[in-house]
Amino acid sequence: MEGFLAPAYGERSLGDVVPAVGRALGVTVPTDPAGAVAPGGLVLPEAPSYVVFLVDGLGTRLLERYAHAAPYLSSLRSAAPTATAGVPSTTATSLTSLGTGLVPGAHGVVGFTSRIPGTDRLLNALFWDKDVDPLEWQPHPTAFAGLRSAGVTVTVVNKREFGGSGLTVAAHRGADYVGADKVGERIAAAVAASVERPSLTYLYDGDLDWTGHRYGVASSQWLQQLAIIDAEAEQLREALPASVRLVVVADHGMVDSPPESRIDVDTVTELRDGLALFGGEARFRQLYCQRGAVDDVVATWREVLGERATVLRREEAIARGWFGAVGTGVLPRIGDVVAACHADHAILSTAEWGYEATLVGLHGSLTPEEMLIPVLVD
């Protein structure tokens, strides 16, 4: 039992969106740390300006299932290519892939939490760590910077609190940053930025993801938020000049994980044996092992979890292409062992990550519900 979907790096992944926009603007963006240009399987229509609107948590399968709540976005689906998130299917990794045009193994933001090499600490990539320099963690030029160097005006529109954050610097440097907390502000900022030719304007909305985590994607609250997002996207399209193309994408999907599908490593204590650090997130655990303990950890986790998760050594996950080509400096950030959950299962630590236990909707693994993302063009 696996049912996983491999990431479509270099063809139809989230990291291929900005290079595809560049080509549509008539600009070639290098997307390999060595300077080579990605093959580019994603093709977008030519236009003088683009607005990319990323809706956090809007997986393709969810949009298909609840099309009635999003009539505008659903009307764009028939002609839209389907893309994939990277691995893990989580916001920090995905946003960095979008902004850099790189695979996780190259840009190095390899999960929600990952080990800071040479330490016994985890980096939380959403909240960052003041002792970790984002320019060292992610040293490669971003795709945004590549567009700017080619004469494209690049603008990021996001909440004010995210301006200058570690993740923003790692993922989206090279763009002008406009802080906008309300929908009206975001739309006005996008309209103003798209006047420049050629230009790329990137907007982010995290409310749907927050609602899914809190209430679940089968909840009335999530459906209401989807309807709000649909209206926001339609308002944005109506406010933009007809010559400007709008692309709506997502960073991942989501699955609801009921209590009976969860396993707590603080209750099933043998899952703690041999671990130095317990990282990743509930649907994609990254395990950092004590010296010489990897084989025992793999054996125990496979025996206990059975068909609830695929448990792989780091080198096995890399060989499957989950992270793309992995740089030498990135290698120790990935867990010695990774556990990717099947179906609606989750692996929690109520002692270390109590907040995770309060969430209904989760993501991070490689199921189609989490991996498939829309690329809606209007």
Mean pLDDT over each residue of the chain, to the nearest integer? 95
- Segment 72-96 mean pLDDT: 93
Per-residue confidence (pLDDT) for residue 41, from 0 to 100? 83
Distance CA 52, CA 249 (A): 7
Distance CA 195, CA 378 (A): 17
Per-residue confidence (pLDDT) for residue 40, from 0 to 100? 67
Distance CA 143, CA 307 (A): 39
Query: Measured at the alpha carbon of residue 180, what is the angle toward residues 16 and 174, in degrees to the nearest 5?
Result: 40
Residues of the chain with CATH 3.30.1360.180: 259-360
Q: How far is CA 208 from CA 224, 230, 253, 289, in A?
A: 9, 11, 10, 35
The per-residue pLDDT for range 283-301, each reduced to its tens digit, is: 999 999 999 999 999 999 9
Is it the case that residue 34 has pLDDT exceeding 80?
no
Per-residue confidence (pLDDT) for residue 29, from 0 to 100? 72
Pure H helices in 4-103: 17-24, 60-65, 71-75, 91-100
- Segment 359-364 mean pLDDT: 98
Residue 269 gets which letter from DSSP? G
pLDDT band at 32 (very low <50, low <70, confident <90, very high): low
Quickly list DSSP for 197-216.
SSEEEEEEE-HHHHHHHHH-
Overall fold of domain 259-360: Gyrase A; domain 2 (3.30.1360)
Is it the case that residue 80 has pLDDT exceeding 90?
no
How many residues are given for the chain?
378
Kindly give the interhelix angle for 91-100 and 17-24, rounded to the nearest 10 degrees: 30
The per-residue pLDDT for range 212-230, each reduced to its tens digit, is: 999 999 999 999 999 999 9
Q: Which architecture, in CATH terms, is 14-108+133-255+367-377?
A: 3-Layer(aba) Sandwich (3.40)
When mean pLDDT is compared across 77-81, 256-260, 345-349, the lowest value belongs to 77-81
Counting beta carbons within 10 angstroms of the beta carbon of residue 354, is it exposed (0 to 12), middle (13 to 18) or buried (19 or more)? exposed
31 vs 292, which has greater pLDDT? Answer: 292
Residues of the chain with CATH 3.40.720.10: 14-108+133-255+367-377
Q: Which two tokens stand for residue 4?
A: 């996983």
In 3D space, the residue among 375, 372, 377, 376 whose CA is nearest the CA of residue 60 turns out to be 372
In 3D space, the residue among 91, 133, 106 whose CA is nearest the CA of residue 333 turns out to be 106
- The HSE-up count of residue 373 (CA atoms within 13 Å, CB side) is 36
Radius of gyration, CA atoms only, the chain: 20
